[in-house]
């Protein structure tokens, strides 16, 4: 049986479980800036691009992680214009 660390009384969790808990389900504009290494204006332009799977809640743009990954895969070998 593999050596897997499980939860103990101090609350430690297996490394893979802890990693899963920290991964965001949704990204906002600041996350897009970090992911694409761009400024705020470009991140907003990306999130407003036709076909980009973003949505707004009270004026704040979000994109689900799974949808962002699918969008990135669908754009492979394509030029995306944000202008």
SS3 4: coil
Please give the pLDDT value at position 80.
76
Topology given in CATH for the domain delimited by 15-74? Arc Repressor Mutant, subunit A (1.10.10)
49 within 8 A of 13, measured Cβ to Cβ: no
Extents of the domains making up the chain: 15-74
pTM metric for this prediction: 0.68
The neighbouring-strand residues paired with 54 are 63
Q: What is the pLDDT of residues 23-61, one digit of tens each?
A: 789 999 999 999 999 999 999 999 999 999 999 999 999
- The model's confidence at residue 79, banded by pLDDT at 50, 70 and 90, is confident
The neighbouring-strand residues paired with 27 are 63
pLDDT at 7 over 70: no
Crossing angle of helices 40-47 and 29-36, in 10° steps, is: 110
SS3 60: strand
């Amino acid at each position: 049986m593999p050596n897997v660390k499980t939860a103990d009384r101090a609350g430690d969790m297996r490394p893979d479980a802890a990693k899963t808990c920290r991964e965001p389900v949704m990204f906002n504009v600041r996350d897009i800036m970090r992911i694409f290494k761009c400024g705020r204006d470009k991140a907003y332009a990306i999130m407003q691009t036709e076909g980009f799977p973003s949505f707004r809640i009270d004026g704040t743009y979000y994109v689900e992680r799974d949808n962002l990954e699918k969008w990135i895969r669908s754009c492979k070998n394509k030029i995306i214009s944000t202008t």
